[in-house]
Amino acid sequence: MTTDTSHVHINRKEYWVIFLLLFVLTVLEVGVVFVPGIDKMLLISALVGMALVKACIVAWFFMHLSHDTLSIRNGIAAVMALPFLYAAVLIADGLWRLMWTQL
């Protein structure tokens, strides 16, 4: 069984742009770690934010979400957001319990 791939067009310029975007974000991630005197929460927020941007770039281009319908993109975004919402609830619960034990 053979697969005919003669109709596939590879846009090398697009792949180079994606590579450069991911490379620049990686360099920024490494660079932000070495900023002297940066607050730990700001550091963590910056690293998580850049990692989320990189994940979205990879999902958009390499999972070909740009070619899918809006309903499929929204469904995937909702499923990807669930762990973050769950983590936010757990963190809020932990902070609430910590606040009440300190009183």
Query: What pLDDT is stored for residue 62 in this prediction?
Result: 82
Is a pLDDT exceeding 90 seen at residue 31? Answer: yes
pLDDT of 6 above 70: no
Residue 31: what residue type?
G
DSSP string, 29-49: HHHHHT-TT--HHHHHHHHHH
